[in-house]
Amino acid sequence: MIKWLKIDVMIESQDKPPFFVGSMFRGALGNALKRVVCINPTYTCEGCFSAKECLYYQFYEEKNVFHAYRLDIVIQPKSYDFSLYLFEDTVKALPYVLSAIHKAVEEQGFGKERKTMKIRQMSISNSIVYDGRTFQTLEGIVPNQLKIDNYCPNLEVEFTMPLRIKENNRFAKESVALHTLINNIHSRYRQLKSEPPARMDYRVEGEIVESNLKFVEMQRYSNRQKKGMSMGGLKGTMKIKGIDRKSYEYLKIGEIIGSGKQTVFGLGSYTMKEMK
């Protein structure tokens, strides 16, 4: 099963955050991470002798992969607090990621104005790793290991962040089929585990008996492409009955790793609730 760490970041600020903070957070973190880990004097990835071993390259420049981290945020937040998941081998890079978060928030800042803020606290599994003044020892911080001991065939799934997922080569705008969702999580899980692509070896069982999903449109500006880009997806709830055990396990994995596209920006987060 998947292993992960979740970093919870609490930020002091009286300012009102924007509707969608995912693009802003990811961009600031990328700039800071490059400054923390890059050993190339030119700060360019193209042709760099160390690119394949570089954490920044793996997080931002490597193409056609599911990146082994994701933001955990909400739409229209009341504060700048956020969380960041690290998966599999990237958990080893925890000190560099913590340093990059600190640099992004307190030294480089966010947005066009590069507004800096104060971190009140960073914690992992209720253990404080930064108290607002100094970093604490990371001894005793161990990755979580997902263990699925229970099973319930009837579920309510709530997409707390828009699910941006393709069905028949088009982004879903009204609903999503259960097998499409499960297959997406299956593919993402295999890539995170460094396993070769493979089709699911079983038939997804279960029925979506109620769907209350609505398409939420969002935009972000890409500095690299110099244009606005759509980040819209499905948000809301759906109720599932009769799901098979293996598909249930994939949905539990998806609660951790996210689903659909642009999970690194915070999209594709959901929670599950058992129904009778």
Question: According to the 3-state scheme, what is the secondary structure of 22-89?
Answer: HHHHHHHHHHHHHHHHCCCCCCCCCCCCCHHHCHHHHHHHCCCCCCCEEEECCCCCCCCCEEEEEEHH
* Whether pLDDT at 260 is above 90: yes
Predicted confidence (pLDDT) at residue 276 exceeds the cutoff of 90: no
Q: Residue 42's pLDDT is what?
A: 79
b/e per residue, 206-219, with b = 16+ CB within 10 A?
Answer: bebeebebebbebe
**CA–CA distance, 176 with 165 (Å, rounded to integer):** 8
pLDDT at 225: 64
Contact in structure between 200 and 186 (CB atoms under 8 Å):
yes
Residue 63's contacts (CB-CB under 8 Å, 6 or more residues apart) are none
Q: pLDDT tens for residues 22-72?
A: 999 999 999 999 999 998 877 888 888 888 889 999 999 988 888 999 999
pLDDT tens track for 126-143? 899 999 999 999 998 999
Residue indicated by tokens 């009837």: 154
* Domains delineated in the chain: 3-144 (3.30.70.1890), 146-274 (3.30.70.1900)
What is the spatial distance between Cα 25 and Cα 105, in angstroms, rounded to a whole number? 9
* CA–CA–CA angle 146, 150, 152 (5° rounding): 120
Query: Whats the size of the chain, residue-wise?
Result: 276
**Strand-pair category, 144-145 with 207-216:** unpaired
> What per-residue confidence (pLDDT) applies to 1?
79
In the chain, what percentage of residues exceed pLDDT 70? 97
Q: How many C-beta neighbours within 10 Å does residue 274 have?
A: 12
**CA 16 to centroid of chain Cα atoms:** 23
pLDDT per residue over 155-184, tens digit each?
999 999 999 999 988 999 999 999 999 999
